[in-house]
Amino acid sequence: MEKGFFEEVLATLENASRFLNLPEPIYQRLRRPRRSIIVSLPVMMDDGSVRFFTGYRVQYDFARGPAKGGFRYHPKVTLDEVTALAALMTWKCAVVNIPFGGAKGGVECDPTRMSRDEIKRLTRRYTYEIALMIGPEIDIPAPDMYTDEQVMAWMMDTYSMMKGYTVPGVVTGKPICIGGSLGRKTATSQGLVAVVCEALRFLKISMEGLTACIIGFGNVGKGCARILSDMGVRITGIADSKGAIYNPKGIDISAVSRHKKETGSVKGFGSAEDVDLDELIGKEVDVLIPAALEGQINSRNAHRVRARIIAEGANNPVTRDADEILKEKEVFIIPDILANAGGVVVSYFEWVQDLQGFFWSRDEIASRLNSIMKKAFKEVVDMSLDKGLDMRTSAMVVGVKRVADAISVRGLYP
């Protein structure tokens, strides 16, 4: 039986804590979010009716700086999910050593069945309800599932109207014209490809003839597919929420992107075979990138994996039970808190630029991102080699130690 999402996250924390021999008060502090809020959101719908939605914001830790994390719109958003994602953001920011704690938010809704104006009213109400909890020095939201730069613009505007002056640093992932950063849209994909390249060098795997399959063809998955394809990697399989396709000779990313735009799915793409997700997961491939929802590689299908490297573009896409199976198969896993940290790194750059009122070039951002991701990968690998740990535990040890050290030196107030 698969465990709950937050329970999965706490299990990885327990492993790291046992290795670090953390004092019990600090371990117990790390097991609990600092602050959680559940808000009721009345929203006027286009037909004149009022619907009530439930929203969440969880701030997991502030020891290293203001909380940072996205918020999502999805019918299955729960407090457990948001808490787990906030915890992962805490470790993620620490692994790449940026001065943030972790947070996450969400609203239980189906944005695919809502108009643009309804989503705008929902966003403004959600922002109003959590306004006392957020701010450039407190908690900086960002886009996540079914939220985008327009949603962030509405959030920034609502917060700014309440303050009486423009506050661009309250959110990241904004449009460029109101303080957004160059390179933000592709940051997660670029950061992931950077650590994949480092893993290939570490494992002495040649780029020549390299193959990859990607689960999820949204912003992260599609970005990874484009970047890897441009590097000469053969993308042999792609999956989205409605289906999966496979072609051992390679898939034209531009063509399949057009197909998805026209039909709503990669399924039915003429130059590839339709397969189910478990079948795609079982294809022989060098790099498998799960970049969709959590838990897609689990105890039911992990034994089918034939990839040499799994790079987790999504949060918690491999369950704990599946992790054990993949260890036995000697699959090299680049864990989510390292692999998909590129987005929060460039969010950090955006926040810094907003506070300074001074903006960087695209090349400068790409160079800084690449440098941070390479350094973080080396630190995690060095910990793995030095202590004989798997990559997930190693990344957790690096991240948790940094947060625990911050809690320890700050002490207990009063």
Same domain, 110 and 210: no
Same domain, 332 and 205: yes
339, 358, 391 - which closes a domain = 339
What integer pLDDT is reported at residue 241 of this predicted model?
Answer: 87
Q: Give the angle subtended at the CA of 347 by the CAs of 11 and 172, to the nearest 5°.
A: 110
Per the structure, the count of domains in the chain is 2
Which residues make Cβ contacts (< 8 Å) with residue 368, sequence separation at least 6? Answer: 349, 360
**53 in a domain, yes or no?**
yes
Same domain, 25 and 129: yes
Full domain range(s) for residue 261: 187-339
Same domain, 191 and 291: yes
Same domain, 229 and 302: yes
What integer pLDDT is reported at residue 2 of this predicted model?
Answer: 53
- Reference 40, options 128, 99, 154, 100; nearest CA is 128
What integer pLDDT is reported at residue 90 of this predicted model?
Answer: 97
pLDDT digits (tens, 9 = 90+) for 311-348: 999 988 998 889 999 999 999 999 999 999 999 999 99
Same domain, 145 and 230: no
**334 in a domain, yes or no?**
yes
**128 in a domain, yes or no?**
yes
With H, G, I as helix, E, B as strand and everything else as coil, classify residue 67: strand
CATH number at residue 323: 3.40.50.720
**279 in a domain, yes or no?**
yes
Same domain, 96 and 161: yes
Please give the structure tokens belonging to residue 350: 């955006």
Same domain, 129 and 212: no
pLDDT of 3 higher than 70 = no
What integer pLDDT is reported at residue 217 of this predicted model?
Answer: 93
Same domain, 263 and 132: no
User: Among 3, 68, 92, 104, which one carries the catalytic annotation?
Assistant: 104
**65 in a domain, yes or no?**
yes
% of the chain surpassing 70 pLDDT: 99
Instruction: Look over the chain and give the mean of its residue pLDDT values, rounded to a whole number.
Output: 95
**386 in a domain, yes or no?**
no
**402 in a domain, yes or no?**
no
Which of the four pLDDT bands, split at 50, 70 and 90, describes residue 233? very high
Same domain, 47 and 156: yes
pLDDT of 8 higher than 90 = no
| Whether 337 contacts 92, CB under 8 Å | yes
pLDDT digits (tens, 9 = 90+) for 365-402: 999 999 999 999 999 999 999 999 999 999 999 999 99
pTM for the model stands at 0.93
CATH number at residue 162: 3.40.50.10860
Same domain, 204 and 70: no
Please give the structure tokens belonging to residue 339: 């692999």
Same domain, 151 and 241: no
pLDDT digits (tens, 9 = 90+) for 134-151: 999 999 999 998 999 999
Which of the four pLDDT bands, split at 50, 70 and 90, describes residue 295? confident
pLDDT of 351 higher than 60 = yes
Strands 139-143 and 332-334 turn out to be unpaired
**In the sheet where 284-290 sits, what is the strand order?**
273-275, 243-246, 234-240, 211-215, 284-290, 306-311, 332-334
261 included as an active-site residue? no
286, 319, 339 - which closes a domain = 339
| Whether 281 contacts 304, CB under 8 Å | yes
**228 in a domain, yes or no?**
yes
DSSP H helical ranges for 264-361: 277-281, 320-328, 336-339, 342-356
Distance CA 60, CA 57 (A): 10
Residue 233: burial class (beta carbons within 10 Å; 0-12, 13-18, 19+): buried
| Whether 360 contacts 353, CB under 8 Å | yes
Distance CA 296, CA 271 (A): 25
136, 167, 198 - which closes a domain = 167
